[in-house]
Structure 1
Amino acid sequence: MSTLTESREVASGYRAGRTLPLRVELVRQLKRRRTMVMFGILAALPVVLLVAFQVGGEPGQGNNRVNLMDAATASGANFAAVNLFVSAGFLLVIPVALFFGDTVASEASWSSLRYLLAAPVPRARLLWSKLVVGVTLSLAAMVLLPVVALIVGTAAYGWGPLQLPVGGTLSTGTAAQRLLIVVAYIFVSQLVTAALAFWLSTKTDAPLGAVGGAVGLTIIGSVLDEVTALGDWRDFVPAHWQYAWTDAVQPQLQWDEMIQGVSVSVTYALVLFALAFRGFARKDVVS
């Protein structure tokens, strides 16, 4: 009995919860080139759109349609909203898929995953650290784009109320609150892509496969949402609700569709994250 008890003892001072600290993992990921490049692209998008508007003229000229893009140059708040509109469908999917899909698979591709686990870092602790850092970086990416767009738009078009495409305006204070709701909703709606990429990252040693797989399946979801023959089945496709946040840039804030979108996204995400933890706990790590 004493022999069995002694075999279960661990090194003095060892605490599983202190292994792979979040600060260490965050610094590691921030120093990676792909992180800096991704943040650079997001920060550059508002400048690119500003140049496009300066060269091509104000949006909405020459057509009879009225949409959010038509009011892009009305104020800094409008410019920020338009940046979110043009990037929510695809561009913002990429950093989320990258930060979640590259995290575990990259360790395996570098043959460092087994050494982390032998440190020893418990498997659940390793995944939890990488999950929290992935959430942090993805949220930073979501916030970076509208903040830079607001600064660039205010410098170019001035600080003013949010001009609504359906008519009317929202005061600057209300507009700021609505933009926060928009960013929060877009972030939650991207949790499906995040969870899918994270799950794939635990299944493969190829980071590109995990990232590309998540982006590809997200695109397939968007395609399925365009198939009107599916009828009400489209309500179960996360992409069906990706633009529900436009209800936040209306005179009266509407929550119904955003609540449905959040419900669908969170449900899929929880299932996929659970599969990632369950599968990785049983995985034979050889790389």
Structure 2
Amino acid sequence: MSSRTEAAPGYRARRTLPLRVELVRQLTRRRTLVMAGVLAALPFVLLTAFAIGREPGSRNGALTLMDTATASGANFAAVNLFVSAGFLLVIPVALFCGDTVASEASWSSLRYLLAAPVPRARLLASKLAVGLGLSLAAMLLLPLVALAVGTAAYGWGPLELPTGGALDAGTAAQRLVVVVAYLFVSQLVTAGLAFWLSTRTDAPLGAVGGAVGLTIVGNVLDAVTALGHWRDFLPAHWQFAWADVVQPRPEWSGTIQGAVLSVTYALVLFALAFRGFARKDVVS
């Protein structure tokens, strides 16, 4: 008897679990809609805060990005990115990448997907691609809504810099696109952590919370100046390197180092996720 297993007529592994199907499934989930609502609401919350409070201004003669929030729509969008980069934007990445596999296990549907049969690598690739796509969409949603709200409230104009000078509106828009791209790349570490944990546990909250918790630990360690140059190996150390891009003469060294570090960690974590899941005994 031949030990070779023949595939069913017409079966093509690459056609199983199409990205379109997985994307529709994830888009229609309540947590996706709630996360989109939270991100879209942040610009309105800040707009209200500036409206009922006093106008932002310099403190002790030193201007910050927050102090220029009402100068133009571009400034308002940059401030929204600044206040959300450290924590808020971490949540959708951890949610979309950490909930994706673990939720199937918690619903006891993961084994049925694999019995369809969907190859394990194909299943992970589809879920990872959709998770990263939704994470990028979340990061685009916030600045786009903020730019629209800020322009309606404060007008379309140049991006005024706290250090002096300004970037014209066209250049400012291009720099903000670069900032969003860098923020997405810098969050790949969180995505990798969440995705790896999602393949190791049947509890979605554990995967999402674990990724967010480890990200917070990284931020805490980066604040420990006694670590010296060891902090250069922490992704959190480079999370605001994008500020050097929003200058009359952009400085790229920090963003390049941060991007390389983040991609390196992410690739290792993604590889661990695929390797571990390929050998995992799936019973859920």
TM range (shorter): over 0.9
Q: Give deviations 1:32-59, integer Å, cap 9, x for gaps.
A: 0000000000000000000000001222
Q: CA deviation at 1:64?
A: 3.2
**Aligned mate of 1:266, from 238, 263, 267:** 263
Q: CA deviation at 1:192?
A: 0.1
2:79 aligns with 82
Q: Distance between the aligned counterparts of 2:188 and 2:78, measured in 1?
A: 21
The one-letter code sitting in structure 2 at the alignment partner of 1:244 is A
How many residues are paired up?
Answer: 284
Contact 2:58/2:64, CA 8 A, preserved across alignment: no
Q: Distance between the aligned counterparts of 2:263 and 2:242, measured in 1?
A: 16
The one-letter code sitting in structure 2 at the alignment partner of 1:152 is V
The one-letter code sitting in structure 2 at the alignment partner of 1:40 is G
SS at match of 1:249: coil
What is the aligned-residue identity percentage?
79
SS at match of 1:152: helix
**TM-score, L = length of structure 1:** 0.97
Q: Distance between the aligned counterparts of 1:44 and 1:229, measured in 2?
A: 38
Q: Distance between the aligned counterparts of 1:190 and 1:254, measured in 2?
A: 20
**Aligned mate of 1:128, from 122, 125, 129:** 125
**Aligned mate of 2:171, from 167, 170, 174:** 174
Q: Distance between the aligned counterparts of 1:246 and 1:134, measured in 2?
A: 27
**Aligned mate of 2:231, from 234, 246, 263:** 234
Q: CA deviation at 1:275?
A: 0.1
Q: Distance between the aligned counterparts of 1:41 and 1:51, measured in 2?
A: 15
Equivalences for 1:80-229 in 2 at 5 Å? Answer: 80-229=77-226
Moved more, 219-228 or 247-256: 247-256
Q: Give deviations 1:159-195, integer Å, cap 9, x for gaps.
A: 0010011010101110011000100000000000000
Moved over 4 A (4+): none
1:21 aligns with 2:18: yes
2:2 aligns with 4
What is the RMSD of the two structures over their aligned residues, measured on CA atoms? 0.9
Q: Give deviations 1:211-238, integer Å, cap 9, x for gaps.
A: 0000000000000000011000000000
Q: Give 5+ residue unaligned stretches, structure 2.
A: none
**TM-score, L = length of structure 2:** 0.99
SS at match of 1:229: helix
Q: Give deviations 1:233-256, integer Å, cap 9, x for gaps.
A: 000000000000001111111100
Contact 2:195/2:273, CA 8 A, preserved across alignment: yes
Q: CA deviation at 1:61?
A: 5.6
**Aligned mate of 2:32, from 31, 35, 39:** 35
The one-letter code sitting in structure 2 at the alignment partner of 1:66 is L
**Aligned mate of 2:67, from 47, 70, 86:** 70
